[in-house]
Amino acid sequence: MKINKYIMGLLMSLPFVSSCDNHIYEDASWHSWMPGMVYCSNGEIMSYENCVSKGNTPEAVLFFVDKEGVFSGKAYAVALNDYQDKEFIDPDTTYFAQGTSADIMQFDGESNTVKLRYFQVQSPIAKSVSPKFFIPSVAEMYKLYVSKDVINSTIEKCGGMPLPFDKNECWYWTSTECDGAETDRAWRYSLSSGRFEMADKHSSYATRPIISIKLNKEE
């Protein structure tokens, strides 16, 4: 798919769409971070108990910290609640490839979501998500899935919706299109079983957005 040069220039000039650019920690506090800690609306990360005692407002729950820099040198936190069921492409719109990497091994939900927001017609799932958050890729959803036993209790304490175990209510969109079928298929992911499979882009599923925080490696 050829990308309009104007759109590409627009994307390159929009640093605000990248949540990691807005959340860079300049101290070494992240060395003590672990899944289950709370991301507060003021950008601080702490235990739920400290969040409450300081009068902070919980906004997300940490589920992965890449302390070794193996993946992306970031921490990831998940929103407290699902976003309602939406289609990957508006059902009144014809199918088209939306420019995601289509690589199930990449931690690139952030850049995928930018493309879903700004290429051609805005994706309903991207349109529904707060600009601070983004729709996880397949690889990021896997990290979320394996941590759910650790983080669900904190999500509940924060008044949020725990990640599901029910097989009938477990399917979520990822932001990853299917390699070789980018025009009309994207991956859906089960937070019950950890399984993912192709789904028609006109299908409707929930999203569980996440946020990334870049770890300062130069302290």
Q: Output the six-digit token pair for 102.
A: 């289509």
pLDDT band at 218; cut points 50, 70, 90:
low
Contact 104, 180 (CB under 8 A): no
Identify whether 219 is part of a domain. Answer: no
Of 65, 72, 102, the C-alpha closest to 184 is 102
- Residue 6: is its pLDDT beyond 70? no
Higher pLDDT among residues 68 and 136, named by residue: 136
| pLDDT tens digits along 105-116 | 999 999 999 999
The count of domains in the chain is 1
| pLDDT tens digits along 181-205 | 999 999 999 999 999 999 999 999 9
Identify whether 89 is part of a domain. Answer: yes
This prediction's pTM: 0.84
At 70 the pLDDT is: 81
Number of Cβ atoms within 10 Å of the Cβ of 128 = 15
Range of the domain at 29: 5-214
At 145 the pLDDT is: 96
Q: Rounded mean pLDDT of the chain?
A: 87
| pLDDT tens digits along 140-160 | 999 999 999 999 999 999 999
Instruction: Give mean pLDDT, residues 174-181.
Output: 98
Identify whether 75 is part of a domain. Answer: yes
Identify whether 56 is part of a domain. Answer: yes
Q: Which residue in the block uniquely carries the two structure tokens 């399917």?
A: 171
Number of Cβ atoms within 10 Å of the Cβ of 195 = 12
Q: Output the six-digit token pair for 78.
A: 């998940």
